[in-house]
Amino acid sequence: MRLTRDFIKISLIFSFISFLIFSSFAQDLYSEEIDWIEVANTKNEIQFIDPNSIKYNNKGLLSVVTKYNEIDPEDQNHIKTNSFLMAIDCEKRLFSQLSINGDLNKVKNWIKPTNDKLIKQTIVNSCSY
């Protein structure tokens, strides 16, 4: 009987400690909310960046998490929202879309934002960080 009580007591203590450890990690995960900053807009589109996601490599290239919202110009409701990781060459004003955990050093297809006001402004504003 005593052995059973000791086992239950140890199990409860272990469960409580495990719960505390798990909840402290979960709080860290949920406390990192993205603080989007608007960097470009048109009549029906808005581009945001997460300035906390900006990372430069040793070649002066940067990566940044961006969010694109398409908006209905009549009622200002969001039609479409996409988030993606963008690579930017600040010196040449070029960009590329990266896969998750993409490597800046392996970008092969840089794109010149010829007639894309949103991307041009996103590049300029991201490079100012």
Whether the predicted pLDDT of 25 surpasses 90? no
Q: What is the mean pLDDT of the chain?
A: 83
Could you give the C-alpha distances from 98 to 3, 14, 39, 122, in angstroms and in order? 58, 43, 19, 15
| Structure confidence at residue 108 (pLDDT) | 84
| Structure confidence at residue 28 (pLDDT) | 46
- CA 116/CA 95 separation, integer angstroms: 12
| Structure confidence at residue 105 (pLDDT) | 78
Question: Side chain identity at 12, as an amino acid letter?
Answer: L
If one compares 30 and 41, the residue with the highest pLDDT of the two is 41
pTM: 0.69
Residue from 48, 49, 46, 36 nearest 69 by CA? 46
Whether the predicted pLDDT of 21 surpasses 70? no
Q: Where exactly are the structural domains of the chain?
A: 1-32, 37-127
| Structure confidence at residue 29 (pLDDT) | 46
| Structure confidence at residue 24 (pLDDT) | 56
